[in-house]
Amino acid sequence: MNHLHDGKIKELEEQANAIRQTIIEMLIEAGSGHTAGPLGMADIFTAFYFHILNHNPKDPFFEDRDRLILSNGHIVPVRYATMAHAGYFSIDEAKTLRKFGSRMQGHPERERLPEMESTSGPLGSGLSQAAGIAYGARMDGRKFYVYCLMSDAEHQAGNLWEGAMFAGANKLSNLIGVIDRNNIQINGMTEEVMPLEPLRDKYEAFGWHVIDVDGHNIEAFVDSIEEAKAIFEVPTVIIAHTIPGKGIEGIEFDYKWHGKPPKGEEGERFLRELRTLGGKIKSEHE
């Protein structure tokens, strides 16, 4: 990765804000979908597609590309929006989210859009998929990294921990997990529905290196990826603390926005708020 200078940080922050606006536009057009998680992960997806990943939208299947596995497929609007801004397809196509016949399904389908790398929907399975890809890459002598993005609540699924055990046992240092630690799920706060803590201790017990980071500080997140790459023969998981609904003050940390979209004037109000925020981001760096 290139050095993350101040100008690049500004560029990434502005890009993340533009992606949040596209997410809202997609959800308004669809009339259904998830709002809180996609908004909360916009900074991290921006960091991946515009700075971290070894990828090429014009040649998306080259053999040594990095693989990004999205385990919590319900937040896929943020991935579609980010990929559109990165040049994989048009923003107009991204706005066909959840439409009949569209490649932009409500949960990612690899057969419709192979650039997604995997199909996801059932929670808890992505880490095992990512561990298998990382293990295969090691067997073949490949040098790419495998990133697995997970929700915090899907850690309530037992099969996720089978993947964690496998990765730790096989010392898959080419595997980097990222947990969206936003503390919400569809029916409440994670620590009230089914407590996850101590999450760090659990991963360390499975043989992982663990990093806690502010998921909205792009520079700190990039630094955490660089730290993960410097760790020898141990998989790393980054616990990224995020705010669900980030950028829309009235819905931040409100679990009821986990699985519903803005409608009508509400959506337009969200867009105005994000545009105002974009202006502040720009002025702060001038």
Q: Tens digit of pLDDT for each residue in 92-111?
A: 999 999 999 999 999 999 99
Domains and CATH numbers, the chain: 6-284 (3.40.50.970)
Token digits for 242?
């995020």
pLDDT at position 285 is 62
Handedness of CA 257, 262, 265, 268 (dihedral sign): positive
> Which range, of 44-48, 54-58, 111-115, 278-282, averages the lowest pLDDT?
278-282
Token digits for 241?
């603390």
The pLDDT > 70 percentage for the chain reads 99
pLDDT digit string (tens) for 110-164?
999 999 999 998 899 999 999 999 999 999 999 999 999 999 999 999 999 999 9
Q: What is the mean pLDDT of residues 251-280?
A: 91
The Cα–Cα gap between 213 and 207 comes to 19
pTM: 0.96
Residue with the two structure tokens 């990165």: 86
DSSP letter (8 states) at residue 59: S
pLDDT at position 70 is 98
pLDDT digit string (tens) for 183-228?
999 999 999 999 999 999 999 999 999 999 999 999 999 999 999 9
The Cα–Cα gap between 199 and 83 comes to 30
Cβ atoms of 96 and 150 closer than 8 Å: no
CA dist list (Å): 253 to 37, 38, 220, 224, 249 = 10, 13, 22, 24, 9
Listed residue (69, 52, 259) closest to 160, CA to CA? 69
pLDDT at position 286 is 61
Q: How far is CA 20 from the centre of its chain?
A: 13
pLDDT digit string (tens) for 14-41?
999 999 999 999 999 999 999 999 999 9
SS3 content of the chain, % helix, strand, coil (to 5): 50, 10, 40
Q: What is the mean pLDDT of residues 79-94?
A: 98
DSSP letter (8 states) at residue 240: E
Whole-number average pLDDT of the chain: 95
Cβ atoms of 36 and 183 closer than 8 Å: no
Q: What is the mean pLDDT of residues 237-246?
A: 98
